[in-house]
Chain A
Amino acid sequence: KQEVTQIPAALSVPEGENLVLNCSFTDSAIYNLQWFRQDPGKGLTSLLLIQSSQREQTSGRLNASLDKSSGRSTLYIAASQPGDSATYLCAVPGGTSGSRLTFGEGTQLTVNP
């Protein structure tokens, strides 16, 4: 059974700081890995999707890396802003169709002005 763990559970940083969120998964046979953002009381916004054949993906100030062999992914946020405050979730698909997503518990990020 796939298990996804995210560290840290919560993170508070001053504005402008670079930061790294960590995600680990137990079964390395994944199709892809996805990072999401969730604002309080809201649904999920997809940030980055890394295919299993890729090592990293970049979008603006966000960079996600994937190391399948070690079962790890990191989300790097450069020059953090108060608007980045949210919960960040990583998820991997599994099951026979590869569509069933298993989510980590999330990292709650607070960026202080």
Chain B
Amino acid sequence: GAVVSQHPSWVICKSGTSVKIECRSLDFQATTMFWYRQFPKQSLMLMATSNEGSKATYEQGVEKDKFLINHASLTLSTLTVTSAHPEDSSFYICSASRTGPETQYFGPGTRLLVL
């Protein structure tokens, strides 16, 4: 149990376009979902925390108008990178937890390459 999927697994897009990444909890209801970004040879950095039905909480330095997060249901959260630029190229990983300070279950990640 506790499987999290991401779609797509990789995406290549042109600079200036928008890209949507989906994160789904397949066999449990996730009240909280998290979005991380990982640059090559670096660790994961939390971008934002989203609770179902409410606005996401963004970490300092993360532009909320550029990285739009929607957590409309207990099994789905989406991250939209708007007007993507080459510096947004990264590995994006989501995670989900049921409630409170509990284990987060991680998705397999989405690799974004902006040309």
Instruction: Flag whether B106 is at the interface (Cβ < 8 A).
Output: yes
Instruction: Flag whether B75 is at the interface (Cβ < 8 A).
Output: no
Instruction: Flag whether A44 is at the interface (Cβ < 8 A).
Output: yes
Instruction: Flag whether B103 is at the interface (Cβ < 8 A).
Output: yes
Beta-carbon nearest neighbor of A49 in chain B: B103
The interface residues of chain A lying within 8 Å CB-to-CB of B44 are 44, 89, 101, 103
Chain A interface main SS type = strand
Instruction: Flag whether A46 is at the interface (Cβ < 8 A).
Output: yes
Which of A59-67, A69-77, A91-99 lies at the interface?
A: A91-99
Map CB proximity to B onto A35-59 as digits: 1 under 8 Å, 0 otherwise: 0100001111110010000000000
Map CB proximity to A onto B80-115 as digits: 1 under 8 Å, 0 otherwise: 000000000001010101001111111111010000
CB of A99 within 8 A of CB of B43, answer no
Q: Count residues of chain A with CB under 8 A from any CB of chain B.
A: 23
Category for how many chain B residues contact A: 20 to 34
| Cβ-neighbour of A44 out of B45, B97, B106 (below 8 A) | B106
Nearest chain B CB to A103's CB is how many angstroms away? 4
Nearest chain A CB to B42's CB is how many angstroms away? 7
CB of A42 within 8 A of CB of B109, answer yes
Instruction: Flag whether B74 is at the interface (Cβ < 8 A).
Output: no
CB of B101 within 8 A of CB of A99, answer yes
Beta-carbon nearest neighbor of B42 in chain A: A105
Given the contacts A46-B103, A99-B101, A99-B104, A89 and B43 also touching, CB distance less than 8 Å: yes
* A residues adjacent to B (C-beta < 8 A): 31-32, 34, 36, 41-46, 49, 89, 93, 97-106
